[in-house]
Amino acid sequence: MRSADMKYEPKVSIIIPVYNGSNFLAEAVDAALAQTYKNCEILVVNDGSTDDGASEKIALSYGDKVRYYLKENGGVSSVLNFAFEKMTGEWFSWLSHDDLYYPEKIEKQIAFINELIDENPNLDIRKITVRTATESIDKDGKVIKIPSYKGVPKHEKPIDTILDNMSNYRLSGCSFLLPTTCIADVGGFNESIRTVSDVEYWYRLLFAGYEFYCLTDDILVKNRSHGKQVGKTKVDLFNREMNELFIWIADTMNKNSEYSTVENNEKMYYSLVRRKCKPAANYVKTTYLKNKVGGFTYAVKYPINAACYSVLGTIRNVARYVYRKIYVK
């Protein structure tokens, strides 16, 4: 659907959090300004950068093309929550200062929402999210990886999204377009989580019944990989928060009688084993499987299968290590 054919053209807020990002910020702002969908506002929020004003100077150089804010350092979740109070859009997306949008990113997402409305006029668009396919680039902007979206449907049941993304995570934060009303519905980002707050937010939306749509054929976001990202500089914190998050996901899933099945818990358990999230995997096994399966399954089948998944996880981790050594500087 072309822009001229769209009946629904809501205002979209693009939030750009920045912390010591002078080396990439201008590219991100330029990518936001280059959006072919023009009913956008761009907010650049400086999270207390300590780069002698370099990030601020870049943001201010755009004049009234962007709205610039400076706040005390508090992490990306605090930046997003701060921006939520300032933005005026009906929908919002965020663009990390080191990532990039393709020019058609927002337009294609709004066009897709228009198609959904045409197909189902009674659809509650306040309860949907639309994300896109992504690719990875290095610090110089060279494409180094295109994640496979094979098998990812444009729309799937919340429980399928919950489980599928535990084993093969494809919920890239910057690819999302979300209704602003979700903030009043499920709250803002959890500022106590430093490394996986976006993951927690997606699962909070899923458990609240939001329908996740994905433009699987449209690569519209460039995620930059480099050695200064928080997931690489705070590995121990990342691993601890990820295990804590998965335990919360398991508890929340099992509060829903429709989701709390042996099959779903087994899928979660094996996914966690493969991801090398041992504390969370053991928690799922002992809390939600031990008393629901036979002694042979628990004592023999699970350890054998877990060993196989663990080997697969090791192979994947080695491949990722080699990949990062070659491409991520």
- For a pLDDT cut of 90, what percent of the chain falls above it? 77
Task: Say if residues 133 and 218 touch (Cβ distance below 8 Å).
Answer: yes
> Could you tell me how far CA 171 lies from the centroid of its own chain?
4
Residue 78 in tokens: 């605090």
How far is residue 118's CA from residue 227's CA, in Å, rounded to a whole number? 44
Q: What is the mean pLDDT of the chain?
A: 91
Split at pLDDT 50, 70, 90, the class of 161 is very high
Q: What are φ and ψ of residue 126, in 5° steps?
A: -75, -10
Residue 242 in tokens: 């990820």
Split at pLDDT 50, 70, 90, the class of 328 is low
Split at pLDDT 50, 70, 90, the class of 137 is very high
Q: Where are the domains of the chain?
A: 3-225, 234-327
Residue 3 in tokens: 């822009």
Q: Which CATH architecture has domain 3-225?
A: Alpha-Beta Complex (3.90)
How far is residue 210's CA from residue 129's CA, in Å, rounded to a whole number? 7
Beta bridge pairs of residue 312? none
Over 70: is that where the pLDDT of 324 sits?
no
Over 80: is that where the pLDDT of 316 sits?
no
More confident residue, 295 or 130: 130
Over 90: is that where the pLDDT of 128 sits?
yes
How far is residue 139's CA from residue 135's CA, in Å, rounded to a whole number? 13
DSSP of 157-194: -HHHHHHHHHHS----GGG-BEETHHHHHH-S--TT-S
In the chain, count H helices and then E strands: 13, 9
Instruction: Give the model confidence (pLDDT) of 186-227 as tens digits.
Output: 999 999 999 999 999 999 999 999 999 999 999 999 999 877
Q: Would you state the pLDDT for residue 86? A: 99
- For a pLDDT cut of 70, what percent of the chain falls above it? 88
- For range 155-172, the mean pLDDT: 91
Q: Would you state the pLDDT for residue 294? A: 65
Instruction: Give the model confidence (pLDDT) of 253-283 as tens digits.
Output: 999 999 999 999 999 999 999 898 999 999 9
More confident residue, 67 or 153: 67
